[in-house]
A and B are shown apart, each in its own frame.
Chain A
Amino acid sequence: MGESYAAVMPANAYNWIAVWRRNFLAWKKAALASILGNLADPITNLLGLGFGLGLIVGRVEGTSYIAFLAAGMVATSAMTSATFETMYAAFARMDAKRTWEAILSTQLTLGDIVLGELAWAASKSVLAGTAIGIVAATLGYASWPSILYAMPTIALTGLVFASLAMVVISLAPSYDYFVFYQTLFLTPMVFLCGAVFPMSQLPGSLQHFAGMLPLAHSVDLIRPAMLERGADSVALHVGTLCVYAVLPFFVSTALFRRRLLR
């Protein structure tokens, strides 16, 4: 049994690139629509909440509310773009479009495919997160170099949420089940993890729980980077995010093996 699980893991360190390039080619064909579709929502939130609520809220953690919110929106959009790329596009490639089936008749393994899909979803997160950073920097709520500092965390956040969504799609019989993941996990996390208001506003016990969620660690790294402050416990945050990225990768690959290679 162990041998058969080993056989589906990535065959080498570079096979996944072919999968990434396949997705990149498909994306290029509809790039403009994809960019606009991915950005409209977080930018609306940033401007709507930032200017509207910002007037009432005043300053938060020593900065304007919109600057505080910008970092939260960068983390959130990294989370949602990786999640949706995986839940909808990768699920379609695995299921209805039979793209994975075609790839599995070549020398690639299931692990190579999953890795390529994760890297691709993370790339889309970098695109979405960076674009919001650019909007924030243009409006003067973040410095230009700060986008560069935040980028590694944005990419890692993309990997984490693509990896978690992989587990969801490896188990979900159809699209209908994704909404549970979205409403019961993703949406609460936006409010629990300090994306739109400081976690210190939460009751103590809830703070403890929220502190274990992956988005909290992303926000704790991205916000200081964007506000050009020193971040605390960087190793803890990066380490936790890495665990959230790596463990679901192995779990989902094993689950896909049961689902696709019986």
Chain B
Amino acid sequence: MNMSTVAIDLADVKKSFGDKVIVNELSFSVARGECFGLLGPNGAGKSTIARMLLGMISPDAGKITVLNEPVPSRARVARVRIGVVPQFDNLELEFTVRENLLVFGRYFGMSVRKIEEVVPSLLEFARLESKADVRVSELSGGMKRRLTLARALLNDPHLLVMDEPTTGLDPHARHLIWERLRVLLARGKTILLTTHFMEEAERLCDRLCVLEGGCKIAEGKPDALIDEHIGCNVIEIYGGDPHQLCELVRPYARHIEVSGETLFCYAPHPEQVRVKLRGRAGLRILQRPPNLEDVFLRLTGREMEK
């Protein structure tokens, strides 16, 4: 890829804390205007990678380039054009919404006049117009998250780095954030987000990198990953002895996974499986299209913890 069209480039990045390897030989590239997801369970190294992109953690080995700046050596210069949504809100709780934006804009060297110029459009974007003079401690979780997003846009960044942007939000608040992020993508912003929500990754990301234990286990477009690794319907069966059921449906399955008390049967012709199971009492059967959850299960042999 041509460097001017690349927003983020990681090459063979390694990081350990003590003798625990957090990120292992990781390489990936994010193009400008793309939404790229780092998908993985807790402890997969997602937050460490996000912090490395900002120069807040230095890699032990490998090369990181963000917006054409080498990181961490010139991370400060890169950060001028990056907006950050951290995993945990770090807003000023005793300040009002407006004061939060004012104080944060000054960290970017913006004049008070310049900040006041952009605040109305940011409040509108975050749907917080009516909350401008409310103290942050009085806002709901979803509103705080939207304010954090507005704050990340103060410096009109090219790139947004978001660490679990919707973790801890209720479904309604989550959908509102997703909708706002799509607006930003339509405006041409580049987004790197970490998530352990398969749905979030599937809905938003153009491409994603599936991580486990600091290693990349898959990379690609969400639907391509699903096609490549699953490529057929899924039947979830619970309520019986999964190992016994396993033998029963095996002839019709392309692949079978057992996780806890659930049996995942990947079958090109699901009706055959249903016929086979007909009449067995106490079973609950759910047939659905495959998703990233199945990809993760297929690749790691276990479900992603939620």
Contacts and interface: CB of A to CB of B under 8 A. Distances in A.
Asked if A pairs with B, the answer is yes
Interface stretch (A3-11, A146-154, A215-223, A236-244): A3-11
Contact of A107 (B73, B95, B107): B107
Given A4-B72, A25-B95, A262-B57, A97 B80 contact: no
A22 B103 contact: yes
B86 interface: yes
A105 B104 CA distance: 10
A7 B73 contact: yes
A105 B157 CA distance: 12
B86 A101 contact: yes
Q: Which of A4, A104, A109 lies at the interface centre, i.e. has the most chain B CB atoms within 10 A of its CB?
A: A104
A197 B99 CA distance: 47
B79 interface: yes
Q: Which of B57, B58, B84, B109 lies at the interface centre, i.e. has the most chain A CB atoms within 10 A of its CB?
A: B109
Interface in B181-199: none
Contact of A105 (B58, B72, B84): B84
Contacts of A4: 58, 72-73
Contact of B88 (A3, A15, A98): A98
A29 interface: yes
Contact of B108 (A22, A106, A109): A106
Given A3-B73, A107-B79, A262-B57, A26 B104 contact: no
Interface in A213-254: none
Contacts of B17: 262
Contacts of B103: 18, 21-22, 25
Q: In which size bucket is the chain B interface?
A: 20 to 34
B94 A29 contact: yes
Nearest to A21: B106
Given A26-B94, A107-B79, A102 B57 contact: no
Contacts of A101: 86, 90
Contacts of A71: none
Contacts of A108: 107
Nearest to A105: B84
Contact of A22 (B72, B73, B80, B106): B106
Contacts of A102: 86, 90-91, 104
A99 interface: yes
Dominant SS among interface residues on chain A: helix
B56 interface: yes
Given A106-B108, A107-B108, A108-B107, A98 B90 contact: yes
A103 interface: yes
A106 B104 contact: yes
A105 B91 CA distance: 12
A57 B93 CA distance: 50
Contacts of B69: none
Nearest to B102: A25
A7 B58 CA distance: 12
A18 B107 CA distance: 6
B76 A11 contact: yes
Contacts of B55: 7, 261
Contacts of A262: 17, 57-58
Contacts of B90: 97-99, 101-102
24 contacts: A3-B73, A4-B58, A4-B72, A4-B73, A15-B109, A18-B103, A18-B106, A21-B103, A22-B103, A25-B103, A97-B90, A98-B88, A101-B86, A102-B90, A102-B104, A103-B107, A105-B54, A105-B56, A105-B84, A107-B76, A107-B80, A109-B76, A261-B56, A261-B58
Interface of A: 3-4, 7, 11, 15, 18-19, 21-22, 25-26, 29, 97-99, 101-109, 260-262
Question: 7 nearest interchain CB pairs?
Answer: A98-B90, A106-B107, A105-B84, A18-B106, A102-B90, A22-B103, A107-B80
Given A18-B106, A22-B92, 18 more contacts: A7-B55, A7-B72, A7-B75, A11-B76, A15-B109, A18-B107, A22-B106, A26-B94, A26-B95, A97-B93, A98-B88, A99-B90, A105-B79, A105-B86, A107-B79, A260-B56, A262-B57, A262-B58
